[in-house]
Amino acid sequence: MFPQRLDAPQAYDIAQAMMDGVNRHYQRFRAATQAAKGYFEQADWAAQQRAQRERMAFYDQRVQECVQHLTQTFAADTQPMAVWQQVKLHYIGLMVGHLQPELAETFFNSVTTKILHRTHFHNDFIFVRPVVSTEYLDVPGAPAFRAFYPGSLDALVPTLHSVMGHFALHAKFENLGRDVTLLAARIRQRLQGLTLRANLQIQVLSSLFFRNKGAYVVGKIITGYTEIALAIPILHTSDGRGLVLHAVLFDEEDLHGLFSFARAYFMVDMAVPSAYVEFLHHLMPRKPRGEIYSALGLAKQGKTMFYRDLLHHLRHSTDKFRIAPGIQGLVMLVFDLPSFPYVFKLIKDQFPAPKETTRQEVQAKYRLVKQHDRVGRMADTMEYSLVALPLERFAPELLQALQTQAGKHVEISDRDGDGQLEVIIDHLYIERRLLPLNMFLKECMDAGLEHAAPRAALERAVLEYGNAIKDLVAANIFPGDMLWKNFGVTRGGKVVFYDYDEIEYLSDCNFRAVPQPRNEQEEMSSKIWWRVGPKDVFPETMEPFLLAHPAVRDVFMRYHADLLTPDFWKAHQARIAQGHVHDVFPYERSRRLLPDVVH
């Protein structure tokens, strides 16, 4: 209950200043996403990547600016709680009619927790639940999505021309007529067996989705009660002749690949982000809304949604946090809640040999991954500070591990004074839970490789493992520790890397062959007798650690033997040095309309 209204005119001014702050942030955010269209049209990939990295810093910059302004102008950090209660009421009034109210609530939370020095779990004045509905928000005259009505399949080609014309790209297509004809044929094929109803239509979100070297039309096909997800990648040809419709993606699984948590964020111009999130969530109902917000570049909103999901789950479950299954690492302590599909990672206080790194360096590696193109092969990570979780939900073994291995950064406290003890972790990384690749391979072996299914699963996993490394290499990333345990398998069978404490830019590494022994003593030595620099990598030394099992070795050597040679790595270093940005497509080759026009 709020107390009786006070005569606090500064409360409204504080609320208005905070609203000005979030509006300034979203204006900058939209300006960056609008610029992405020009970068794509000009094929200026360096500018695109730079804008992507810079946009990630916008939110924290605006929050800090707002905190400084409120502190200096209104002495906000000294205002009594009664004033802050009035600030929140005024702020709620300012959100009426706002087109991004959910972002405004999150911005309010970020600013108040910094000023009042309270965590998200212990602040009576934040928006724990949304108070303003985002349903049916839209801009008059500029709807979030457009509908196109072919009437019949015979009119698909002109309808698709209209769809492409809607986006007004200022770059010529190599042969749009050819591409639209191929696209229409694929759509007809997908609609085979369905009865076409009077409501046959193609709905597309009004803005293109830009990422790396591609632009994507995202929407759906509707006929009767059937709705089919649709995405159309637009790329530049490798020889510079113009744009092409490169592929067509249908259905939820294809869109999950496109919007994967292991890929970089999109640049997309949205006046009403909640309208885009709801449209996409309808296409991908299994994907949490928080992950969709993050995929659209609104990572802070994604974190807010995740936090709400976590609180909701804790209220409706009783299982305990435990040490995550698998081989424990030397740097990170990892735990999970069996009923919740995420893992929680914190940096240990000390790292035993052979690890030679620091806490600051590990944090820098995670920032590197956050800002880099993850090419579908590196799991996105949410970073939180001062996370409080109920003590009663921790298994004794996990609690002991936290206190002995990370005790400097873990506290048990009754911060609210209500007798409810909580485990407070000062710095936490949270990722989607994956099945560790070493455990997946063991499951295949335990099922019996004489059987076709487990042998095929093992072969696919080893093939995927090598492909994951090669995709990372294409993005100028060297994983560092390439052991199976540092990779995970997604529900769809994709192999993703998730251990970042030894990650390096490929261009910074020195790949060498193991020198030939100069005498019998060196040849018989069980220890490394040659000089090794801090950035030296000897690919052939990976073989004993990776290929001990004959079945694994057989598959690896058939598909990825080149990973054990310095020449492979050096060739990619040379390509990167020449400024070539390699294409890593977020869809299978079978989805392509024109397989040979883009390399």
- Output DSSP code: residue 302: H
Q: E strand or H helix at 220, and its extent? A: strand 214-223
CB contact set of 515 (below 8 Å; sequence gap of 6+): 530
CB 366 within 8 A of CB 346: no
- Contact yes or no for 296/268 (Cβ under 8 A): yes
At 98, list the tokens: 């706002």
Catalytic entry in 380, 471, 499, 501: 380
- Helix pair 101-116, 299-315: axis angle to 10 deg: 80
Helix, coil or strand: residue 476 = coil
392 SS3 class: helix
Say if CB 16 and CB 94 are below 8 A apart.
yes
Helix (H) or strand (E) holding 568: helix 566-577
Tokens of 36: 């992405």
Residue 220's beta-bridge partner residues?
A: 203, 229
Residue entry with tokens 């590990």: 362
Pairing status of strand 487-489 against strand 435-436:
antiparallel
Say if strands 382-390 and 422-432 run parallel, antiparallel, or are unpaired.
antiparallel
d(CA 464, CA 558): 13
The DSSP code sequence of 393-410 is: GB-HHHHHHHHHHSGGGE
Contact yes or no for 430/385 (Cβ under 8 A): no
Cis ω on the peptide bond leading into residue 396 (within 30° of 0)?
no
DSSP conformation letters of 136-159: T--BTTB-SEEEE--SSGGGHHHH
SS3 call for 57:
helix
* Residue that the structure tokens 């994951």 belong to: 468
Burial class of residue 527 (count of CB atoms within 10 Å of its CB; 0-12, 13-18, 19+) = exposed
Task: Identify whether 380 is a catalytic site residue.
Answer: yes
Could you tell me which of 345, 341, 308 has the C-alpha nearest to residue 430?
345
Q: Judge whether 379 and 434 are in contact, CB under 8 Å.
A: yes
- The whole-angstrom separation of Cα 27 and Cα 58 is 10
Residue 325 phi, psi dihedral angles, 5° rounding: -60, 150
CA distance 426 to 470: 35
Q: Comparing C-alpha atoms, which of 254, 232, 246, 264 is closest to residue 52?
A: 264
Q: What residues act catalytically?
A: 380
